[in-house]
A and B are shown apart, each in its own frame.
Chain A
Amino acid sequence: MSKRLLLKRIVRSKFFMIGGIMTLIIIIACLFAQWFCKYGPTECDYSNMLIAPEWFRAGSSGHILGTDSLGRDMLARVLYGGRMSLLISFAAVGISAIVGTLLGVIAGFYGGWVETLIMRFGDVQLSIPAMMLAIAMVAIVGPNVFNLILILAITGWPGFARIIRSNVMAIKNSEFVSASRVLGASDLWVMLKQIFPNVITPLTVYSSQQLGHRILMDASLSYLGLGVQPPMPSWGVMISDSRAYLQSNPWLVLVPGIALALTVLAFNFLGDGVRDILDPKMK
């Protein structure tokens, strides 16, 4: 695809532009959280507990989004929590994309028992509800960030393998592959230089669609206390902490929830946009 055509499609895709700008803002705000916050995410200020956000009360305390029950700055907690969620979801999608692509290319290219083994294993794993599998695994390996990334990656790879395999199967019998075969190319060469470049499009589309999904799963797991451990902030933990204050301080649940919804929305838009740009036929 020529660069000009690509650029034209990027500019024309509303989803990609809106999603891209939202994603960019969210990533910058979370990555450089220390520039936007006066307070640390775990810094307690016992003289300023449960303050409402700036525009809901008179006076100013410097806590733009208010404070929680321990006097911790909500803005700092949302941004630092977001940093963790982004890290977890990007890492998880990255790992499952690498593993899934590798196995998918091998399965699609070699076929036969190798394919049966890989794909059936994927089927079996997809047959276990993802949340249940994640909970069982956390129960056994213990909750921490590294394990969470690993678990999210494990529950994600079969989807990648399926998509990649079906694409590889379509490509592997094409003439350019036969041509390089005739010229004496090895299996590895064909897989790396001929097949892999041709599955990058579906890979990108599926990865971008998976990001929002992983963020949601991360929030659910940390809500259950299986993800990032307190006092480190995470959106799921913030939502679960807010349960005791529903009546008196509703912003405690609204702030992290809206942050979560906006992030997922941004990723979903981006995913749709990437699909429209790279693969308009898929619509």
Chain B
Amino acid sequence: MFKYIVKRLIYCVLVLLGVSLICFFIIYLSPGDPVELLLGEAATPELIAAKRAELGFDRPYMVQYGTWLLNVLRGNLGTSLYYHESCWTIIKPMLWKTVQLTFSAMLLSLIISIPLGLLAGVKRGSGIDFFSMGFAMLGQACSSVWLGIVLVMVFAVKLKLFPPYGDTSFAHIIMPSITLGAPLAAITVRMVRSGMIDTLDSDYILAARAKGEPNFKVITKYAFKNALLPVITVVGLQLGQFLGGAVVTEQIFAWNGIGKLMVSSLNGRDYPMIQASLLISSSLFVIVNVLVDLLYTVVDPRMRKTSSGKKRIAGSTLSRFIKSRKVPSSGSPE
């Protein structure tokens, strides 16, 4: 188990290195001069030459990357062209906003989807099963672009229940959470349901029933626990994605998170900021996934026993997700 944790951590560091490589070199995809991009419209030949020397753009690529990475590790993510401040001071408060939205969306969707999936799986073929599958299909087919605007139309414009946009009070967080959480709720309902159906068919449930355990205990204590395992994986992945910026949702509701920052930096051609937000959001995704992997070893006792070099029943979060995928991934793209 200890070996596994160390292995995961080393792997995490390597992936983070890879991510930083992409974030650094993505700027070179530009047909123009990256230094001009980094300086923005105010670039004069003298400024360009100065910046080129400062960043060492006349040196080999790997040296440039190394310099940049060292700066990043020291907490220097570059200076925003728009705000004229260090990128990290701008990103920090927005990151906090995104974290708030992420957890509220996650909580809302799990509160609805887990009981619904559980009931649907237990009472297979009943009205509630039918309802939950309909809910799941609609949730996966709705674009968050559209769902968000329809919510605004109904609850803000017509009924005037919630403010249409902004991020200052508790009432502001409800509609964005629904928009962001709906696709996750749809996936979770399907996963819990199929997990329940699979486990309820298994031999150990039959054994528990034969022993005369009450139905309620069989469902909650034996079946539900196992059905919940794949859900942890999906929730972890989505948590990472949400933390990485719920771009569309934040844009619709003018929620000042990292996703909205990304879009406004794009419109303002603020390349250092784009680079910094990309790096921060990807690092969050990687770290959250490693935490979920570690959590998995705690929750699933089978993971602990197989740590002695034998073949592992599950690899990384991502590969487990792909393997366990019983539902199409067509949730929201964010």
- On chain A, the residues within 8 Å of B281 by CB distance are 128-129, 132
Chain B CB count within 10 A is highest, among A132, A137, A166, for A132
A91 at the interface (CB under 8 A from B): no
Tell me, in angstroms, the Cα distance from A219 to B251 when the chains sit together: 14
Please report the C-alpha to C-alpha distance between residue A219 and residue B37 in the assembled complex, in whole angstroms: 28
CA A173 – CA B238 in complex, angstroms?
Answer: 35
Q: What residues on A are CB-neighbors of B329 within 8 Å?
A: 159, 209-210, 213
**Does A54 touch B at the CB level, under 8 Å?**
no
Q: Does A282 reach chain B (CB closer than 8 Å)?
A: yes
Which 4 residue pairs spanning A and B have beta carbons closest together?
Answer: A124-B18, A129-B244, A257-B146, A209-B328
In the assembled complex, the CB of B105 is this many whole angstroms from the nearest CB of chain A, namely 15
Partner of B333, one of A131, A137, A240, A243: A131
A67 at the interface (CB under 8 A from B): no
Chain B residue numbers with a CB within 8 Å of A243 are 149
Given A128-B278, A139-B269, answer yes or no on A220-B322 (Cβ-Cβ < 8 Å): no
CB distance from A239 to the nearest CB of B (A): 5
A→B interface (CB under 8 Å): 120-121, 123-133, 135-141, 159, 162-163, 166, 209-210, 212-213, 216-217, 219-220, 223-224, 226, 236, 239-240, 242-243, 246-247, 250, 253-254, 256-257, 260-262, 264-265, 267-268, 271-272, 282-283
Give 13 A-B contacts (CB < 8 Å), ordered by A residue. Answer: A123-B316, A127-B282, A131-B245, A132-B281, A133-B278, A213-B329, A216-B332, A216-B333, A220-B247, A253-B149, A262-B141, A264-B330, A268-B141
Decide: A213 near B146, CB < 8 A? Known: A138-B266, A159-B322.
no
| CB of B86 within 8 Å of the partner chain | no
Q: A131-B247, A264-B142 are in contact. List 9 more A-B contacts (CB 8 A).
A: A128-B23, A129-B334, A139-B269, A140-B30, A239-B143, A246-B157, A250-B153, A257-B146, A261-B138
Contact at B322–A265, with CB atoms within 8 Å? Answer: no
Which chain A residues lie closer than 8 Å to B143 at the CB level? 216, 219-220, 239, 257, 260-261, 264
- Pick from A123, A132, A253, A256: contact of B244, CB under 8 Å: A132
Check B30–A128 contact: CB distance below 8 A: no
The 8 Å CB contact of A135, one of B37, B140, B266, B322, is B266
B26 interfacial contact with A, CB 8 Å: yes
Main secondary structure of the interface of B (DSSP, over half): helix
Report the interface size for chain B: residues with CB under 8 A from the other chain: 64
Cβ A123 vs Cβ B152 within 8 A:
no
A140 to B18, CA, bound (A): 20
Given the complex, which residues of B lie within 8 Å of A163, measured CB to CB?
322
| Shortest distance between the CB of A142 and any CB in chain B (Å) | 8
Within 8 A of A (CB), among B283-334: 285-286, 289, 316, 318-319, 322-323, 326, 328-334
Task: Tell me, rounded to whole Å, the shortest Cβ–Cβ distance linking B231 to chain A.
Answer: 18
CB distance from B34 to the nearest CB of A (A): 9
Bound Cα distance from A213 to B329, whole angstroms: 7
**Residues of A contacting B318 in the complex (Cβ-Cβ under 8 angstroms):** 123, 126, 162
Known: A124-B22, A125-B22, A212-B330. Is A253-B153 also a contact (CB below 8 A)? yes
A275 to B201, CA, bound (A): 22
CB distance A213 to B333 under 8 Å?
A: yes
A265: chain B residues within 8 A (beta carbon): 137-138, 141
A136/B278 in contact, CB under 8 A? yes
A162: B residues at CB distance < 8 A? 318-319, 322
Given A132-B244, A264-B143: A271 in contact with B18 (beta carbons within 8 A): no
Q: Does B5 have its Cβ within 8 Å of any Cβ on chain A?
A: no
Contact status of A129 and B282, CB under 8 A, knowing A120-B18, A216-B143: yes
- Residues of B within 8 Å of A271, CB to CB, are 328, 330
A212 and B22 within 8 A (CB):
no
Chain A hits for B21, CB < 8 A? 124
Interface residues of B in 1-23 (CB under 8 A from A): 14-15, 18-19, 21-23
Task: Name the B residues within 8 Å of A121 (CB-CB).
Answer: 18
B15's partner among A127, A256, A261, A262 (CB-CB below 8 A) is A127
Contact in complex: A128, B29 (CB < 8 Å) = no
In the complex the two chains form, is B145's CB within 8 Å of A272's CB?
A: no
Q: Which residues of A contact B286 (CB under 8 A)?
A: 127
Q: Which residues of B have CB within 8 Å of A120?
A: 14-15, 18
Determine which of A135, A223, A247, A272 lies in contact with B262 in the assembled complex, contact meaning CB atoms within 8 Å: A135
Q: How far is the CB of B78 from chain A (nearest CB, A)?
A: 14
B29 near A137: Cβ-Cβ < 8 Å: yes
For B316, list chain A residues within 8 Å (CB). 123
Residues of B within 8 A of A283 (CB): 194, 326
A166 to B149, CA, bound (A): 40
**A208 → B minimal CB distance (Å):** 8
Q: Is the CB of A261 within 8 A of B244?
A: no
Measured CB to CB, the nearest residue on chain B to A162 is: B322
Residues of B within 8 A of A210 (CB): 329-330
B153 pairs with A268, CB closer than 8 A: no
Q: How far is the CA of A283 from the CA of B265 in the complex (A)?
A: 44
| B259 proximal to A (CB < 8 A) | yes
Least CB distance, B203 to chain A, in whole angstroms:
18
Q: What residues of A have a CB within 8 angstroms of the CB of B240 in the complex?
A: 129
Residue of A nearest to B31 (CB): A141
- Does B277 interact with chain A (Cβ within 8 Å)? yes
List the B residue with the shortest CB-CB distance to A265. B141
The listed residue with most B CB atoms (<10 A of its CB), out of A226, A236, A239, A254, is A239
CB distance from B31 to the nearest CB of A (A): 7
Determine how close the nearest CB of chain B comes to the CB of A153; give it in whole angstroms: 14
Q: A246-B152, A257-B150 are in contact. Are A127 and B30 (CB under 8 A)?
A: no
